[in-house]
Chain A
């Protein structure tokens, strides 16, 4: 039985660092490096943002990737999905879109993925810092972008926080078509609601009963 004590740990692939000001810092540098290295193209420059404004755009004219490249695309996106679910929430939007494209990626998707990796290269030392101002007050946000995808589906985003850093995030394309932004919002809230309820229930079972008034913003 081996164990680590103290302030710095490694747990299921994440590096944890507990700081003196009641925060915990999580990073997955090794996995990020692995994703960058296993991408077939060389990543030689840094990008300042993970995505550009045309992320959701799909052009018919863009040529499909060869089988070998498509395989590589799939595996790198899967690695990024793993990373983005844990420590690098900033690439979730890009990964959320790219995961919808893995079955038939084209050259545009390849360039978009490259952009994400360029961003990661430049910001490889970013960590997710989590902390709480008050354990008993929870904040939750849900929002929906109506009809942004090429098949007119909407995109849901949501997060839960205790004051510093977010967790329980959701960033994904909606599964059904909606006719108006209002309807889209409802679908989004209904998609994200289980996370909020679960967080509340979980914390109650841990012995922290939340205050009656908690803010949920839409």
Chain B
């Protein structure tokens, strides 16, 4: 399915940023000896070793200016490649400045910046997702590898974007493509799940198409990509070895960070203790208990703000196939099919989705005659037939309890 275009560049960008940060850190903390991979002790040892070498070499050069240079250079780079690179260029004009620099660096390294708990200097870790993708690629069979590049080539022909080809070649794609990875792991099953998720999105009228020409440049810039994920869930009778697969479409809420304050986005959840207390009460009064979950919870909540989402790649075709009326909104951007849509419902990933859902659900319950508990805003009570009915909910999971099972059935039907 959506091989190739889905949220391209997210991971590489992240990686780039990391690199830059690391470089900054090195500049600040470690000055010239930027060998991020080694730990502190290692680094010190090594650099001291290098220092000794340098001194020896310096004397050598003082005595006879030629001949030895190449040899000593080699021994150098064996010991500490980075320092070797640094020094080699300065080798010819060995002077006071260099001695000072060497002294300064030695002193700098002698200062123990880490405390006794090993904090302090940060050592660079290999990016796990990165190493993961490389390992994964190595493990592939020859046929799979062939297939992989075949897809890459197709993708390139479709979009005409050489970057895509590059990414395929370097194997980067594995890290980004969560949907793709899922499909690779579970094959047809995952694809069907993804289709079902898309169908649900259309069923709930999550968004409507927007003509790209009607959007301002700023809106286009702010529009975030749709992310499709394949999840492995182990609840409800599934084990680690046999997980249930679930497709999930998300809005990339990263662009929304900073636009909203905490008060606008924070939503309450029930605490585990209130759940236990209500459970004790249920058990004590011998109530009938039911656990339910609301299907497509967030998709029921109406979105208040204007939020534009960008759908790219294979998904565009799929959506148009499922709903032909979207076809008129499809445009091309740098040779890639793009569909701009405005969200009508809260989609997973928007920062305000959780709050919107909470407000919708709590107001629904209040309309049904429930009263919220002021000490836990996710517990609601109501007197039905002279007995108390309690609902505890955790996002879209509900625990409903009442003495009479028929009442519970009624409440469930009402919530639906």
Contact between A22 and B381 (Cβ–Cβ < 8 Å)? no
B393-416 near A? 1/0 per residue, CB < 8 Å: 010010100000100100010011
Contact between B274 and A162 (Cβ–Cβ < 8 Å)? no
> Contacts A12-B394, A18-B289: A132 and B373 contacting too (C-beta < 8 A)?
no
Among the stretches A1-9, A139-147, A172-180, the one at the interface with B is A1-9
Contact between B239 and A9 (Cβ–Cβ < 8 Å)? no
Among the stretches B59-67, B99-107, B219-227, B290-298, the one at the interface with A is B290-298
> Contacts A10-B235, A34-B240: A104 and B373 contacting too (C-beta < 8 A)?
no
Number of interface residues of B (CB under 8 A): 47
Which of B235, B284, B376, B408 has the largest count of A CB atoms less than 10 A from its CB? B284
B412 partner, pick from A3, A37, A130, A168, beta carbons under 8 A: A3
B96-129 near A? 1/0 per residue, CB < 8 Å: 0000000000000000000001110000010000
Which residue from chain B places its CB closest to the CB of A85 in the assembled complex? B272
Contact between A131 and B280 (Cβ–Cβ < 8 Å)? yes
> Contacts A104-B117, A162-B280, A206-B278: A1 and B416 contacting too (C-beta < 8 A)?
yes
B281 partner, pick from A195, A198, A199, A208, beta carbons under 8 A: A208
Write out the residue numbers on chain B whose beta carbons fall within 8 Å of the beta carbon of A206: 277-278, 281, 373, 379, 381, 388, 390
Contact between A104 and B118 (Cβ–Cβ < 8 Å)? yes
Contact between A130 and B118 (Cβ–Cβ < 8 Å)? no
Write out the residue numbers on chain A whose beta carbons fall within 8 Å of the beta carbon of B379: 202, 206
Q: What is the minimal beta-carbon distance from A152 to any residue of chain B, in angstroms?
A: 17
Contact between A1 and B294 (Cβ–Cβ < 8 Å)? yes
Q: How far is the CA of A139 from the CA of B233 in the complex (A)?
A: 38
Indicate whether A187 reaches chain B with its CB closer than 8 angstroms: no
Contact between B294 and A24 (Cβ–Cβ < 8 Å)? no
Contact between A1 and B293 (Cβ–Cβ < 8 Å)? yes
> Contacts A30-B234, A135-B281: A12 and B397 contacting too (C-beta < 8 A)?
yes
Contact between A18 and B282 (Cβ–Cβ < 8 Å)? yes
Which residue from chain B places its CB closest to the CB of A167 in the assembled complex? B276
Q: What is the minimal beta-carbon distance from A79 to any residue of chain B, in angstroms?
A: 13
Write out the residue numbers on chain A whose beta carbons fall within 8 Å of the beta carbon of B416: 1
Write out the residue numbers on chain A whose beta carbons fall within 8 Å of the beta carbon of B394: 11-12
- For residues 349 through 405 of chain B, which have their beta carbon under 8 Å from a beta carbon of chain A? 373-376, 379, 381, 388, 390, 394, 397, 399, 405
Please classify the interface of chain A as helix (H, G, I), strand (E, B), loop, or mixed, using the class held by over half of its residues. mixed
- For residues 1 through 42 of chain A, which have their beta carbon under 8 Å from a beta carbon of chain B? 1-5, 9-13, 16, 18-19, 22-24, 26, 30, 33-34, 37
> Contacts A86-B272, A207-B381: A201 and B118 contacting too (C-beta < 8 A)?
no
A3 partner, pick from B277, B291, B381, beta carbons under 8 A: B291
Q: How far is the CA of A67 from the CA of B279 in the complex (A)?
A: 42
Q: How far is the CA of A104 from the CA of B375 in the complex (A)?
A: 38
Q: How far is the CA of A198 from the CA of B234 in the complex (A)?
A: 33
Indicate whether B275 reaches chain A with its CB closer than 8 angstroms: yes
Q: How far is the CA of A9 from the CA of B399 in the complex (A)?
A: 10
Contact between B373 and A205 (Cβ–Cβ < 8 Å)? yes
Number of interface residues of A (CB under 8 A): 44
A-B interface pairs (CB < 8 A), number: 117
Q: What is the minimal beta-carbon distance from B345 to any residue of chain A, in angstroms?
A: 17
Indicate whether A193 reaches chain B with its CB closer than 8 angstroms: no
Contact between A5 and B286 (Cβ–Cβ < 8 Å)? no
Indicate whether A148 reaches chain B with its CB closer than 8 angstroms: no
Write out the residue numbers on chain B whose beta carbons fall within 8 Å of the beta carbon of A205: 373-375
Which residue from chain A places its CB closest to the CB of B295 in the assembled complex? A1
Q: How far is the CA of A115 from the CA of B311 in the complex (A)?
A: 50
B236 partner, pick from A10, A135, A203, beta carbons under 8 A: A10
Write out the residue numbers on chain A whose beta carbons fall within 8 Å of the beta carbon of B293: 1-3
Contact between A30 and B239 (Cβ–Cβ < 8 Å)? yes
Contact between B276 and A130 (Cβ–Cβ < 8 Å)? yes
- For residues 249 through 298 of chain B, which have their beta carbon under 8 Å from a beta carbon of chain A? 272-284, 286, 288-295
Contact between B373 and A3 (Cβ–Cβ < 8 Å)? no
Q: What is the minimal beta-carbon distance from B362 to any residue of chain A, in angstroms?
A: 15
Q: Identify 13 new A-B residue pairs, CB closer than 8 A, beyond the known A2-B295, A24-B282, A206-B388.
A: A1-B415, A3-B290, A3-B291, A4-B290, A5-B288, A5-B290, A12-B394, A22-B283, A132-B284, A168-B276, A202-B375, A206-B379, A207-B381
- Can you list 13 A-B contacts with CB-CB less than 8 angstroms, sorted by A residue number? A1-B412, A3-B293, A4-B292, A5-B408, A22-B286, A23-B283, A24-B280, A33-B240, A34-B240, A85-B272, A104-B118, A167-B277, A201-B375
